[in-house]
Amino acid sequence: MTRILISLLVTLLVGACAPTHTSRRERQEYFTHTVGRHGENLGSIARWYTGSSSNWEFLLRHNPGLDPQRIQTGDVVRIPKAWLITTKPMPSYTSRRPTVRRPAPVYPGPDPTHLEQLDPVHDDQGQTTPPADQVPPAQDQWNIETPVVERPLEPSQTIVSDPESEERRRRIRDRLLDDMLQ
């Protein structure tokens, strides 16, 4: 009888000392986030710590006692360390509600048709700019000749340009580009 009791005692001790099988969830290491502000939700927490707000369901599976509709300041959210992209605390702007800014007030101004009478435009010498119908046409600074087309080309005809006119076109194009870039 003593042998049986000793055998039973040894079996129990060996069994107690043997490593127990733990679930994967218990073995996984977690980072904990304590909800610190009103308005934080699993989506904003997931976005900050895992990089995607769609991971909120993943966080919910790892926090079985947490109700996503009733997260309050002080609640602890466990985040698997394998999913972390940062351990820095969440900034306050991630849960801040948008603010509505009022536009600046608009004050009525003078009638645009009378603006020229109120303050005429002056050039560098202090002279008033003449009306548009008294301004001479602008001079063509590159002297570009506009070709006169007497009749349209037939489909069988091709346009042949000489190298001199091509070079002139290139110079004009380069001057235009230089003027635009200055």
Q: Would you say residue 74 lies in a domain?
A: yes
Strands (E), the chain: 30-34, 76-80
pTM over 0.75: no
Looking at residue 128, what DSSP letter applies? Answer: B
The confidence band for 50, taking pLDDT boundaries of 50, 70 and 90, is: very high
Q: Would you say residue 76 lies in a domain?
A: yes
Cβ atoms of 61 and 24 within 8 Å: the answer is no
Total domains in the fold of the chain:
1
CATH number at residue 70: 3.10.350
Q: Would you say residue 77 lies in a domain?
A: yes
Other CB atoms within a 10 A radius of the CB of residue 168 amount to 14
Q: Would you say residue 32 lies in a domain?
A: no
* Structural domain boundaries, residue 53: 39-86
Q: Would you say residue 11 lies in a domain?
A: no
Q: Tell me: the pLDDT tens digits for 83-113?
A: 899 888 888 764 455 566 777 777 666 555 5
52: pLDDT strictly greater than 50:
yes
At 63 the pLDDT is: 93
Distance CA 154, CA 82 (A): 74
Token pair belonging to 143: 């002297």
Q: Would you say residue 156 lies in a domain?
A: no
Type of residue numbered 78: R
What is the average pLDDT value for the chain, to the nearest integer? 74
Q: Would you say residue 65 lies in a domain?
A: yes
